[in-house]
Amino acid sequence: MVSDREPKSDATVEELREWVADEVDAVTELTGLEDGWRMLLDLELRWPRDREQIFERSHLPRCTTQSGEANPAAVQIDLLSDPLDGDPVALAEQVRDRWETAGWELSQVGPGYYRADRADGAFMTIEGAEGAGGKMLSLLVRSACSGNPSVAH
């Protein structure tokens, strides 16, 4: 989805990746699943073992669509947990509580599905659900937009 979000920073792609990685690591630690996450679009890639490959395979979503010029973009990671023994909704609620304590603006998208937004355009989602693959969490972390040439495209 393309939104007309103006760049809020001139952060480099490396700086945005570091911020995204820190947020992902905080969630993996909180949930106790430090080694239990896979890239949504390539389930063979594991977080954190394949961190650099995951970043390389992830797209940089555009924040604006201006024809004929470089458009600000963000860094985004989509992960899926390994099947869980415990309650995925309870884990999602723990993450929601952490984000709320950190000052993020929260909304509930659906049962066990939460979104956290920040004024600079960064956002994260966590969903705990049970499906055909078992009990799982999905996590999306998207940085703020940057107009830095290492990110914009």
Per-residue pLDDT reduced to its tens digit, 4-32: 455 568 999 999 999 999 999 999 999 99
What tens digit of pLDDT does each residue of 123-141 get?
A: 999 999 998 889 999 999 9
Q: How confident is the model at residue 88 (pLDDT cuts 50, 70, 90)?
A: very high
Instruction: List, in order, residues 6 or more apart from 140 with CB less than 8 Å away.
Output: 76, 77, 78, 79, 124, 125
Cβ atoms < 10 Å from Cβ of 110: 8
Which residues does residue 123 pair with via DSSP β-bridges, in sequence order? 117, 142
Is 150 inside any structural domain? no
Distance CA(74)–CA(17), nearest Å, equals: 9
5 in a structural domain: no
| Range of weakest confidence among 5-9, 70-74, 76-80, 123-127 | 5-9
The domain total for the chain is: 1
Tell me how far apart the alpha carbons of residues 44 and 18 are, in angstroms, rounded to a whole number: 22
The verdict on residue 134 lying in a domain is yes
Report pTM: 0.92
Q: Is pLDDT at 69 greater than 80 in this prediction?
A: no
pLDDT at 48 over 60: yes
Whole-number Å distance between alpha carbons of 5 and 120: 9
In a domain, 149, yes or no: no
- Name the helix (H) or strand (E) containing 130: strand 123-131
Instruction: Kindly report the average pLDDT of the chain as a whole number.
Output: 92
Q: Count of alpha carbons within 13 Å of 136, Cβ hemisphere only?
A: 15
* pLDDT number for residue 2: 39
In-domain check, residue 73? yes
For residue 67, is it within any domain? yes
CA torsion sign, 17 to 22 to 25 to 26? negative
The torsion angles phi and psi of 30, rounded to 5 degrees, stand at -60, -40
Encoding tokens for residue 117? 């937004």
Flag whether 4 is in a domain. no
User: Which residues lie below 8 Å from residue 143, measured CB to CB, with a gap of 6+?
Assistant: 11, 16, 19, 20, 74, 75, 76, 122
Residue pair 91/128 in contact by the 8 Å Cβ criterion: yes
Range of the domain at 45: 13-142
Tell whether the model's pLDDT for residue 1 goes beyond 80: no
Q: Which residue has the higher pLDDT, 46 or 71?
A: 46
Residue 151 lies in a domain: no
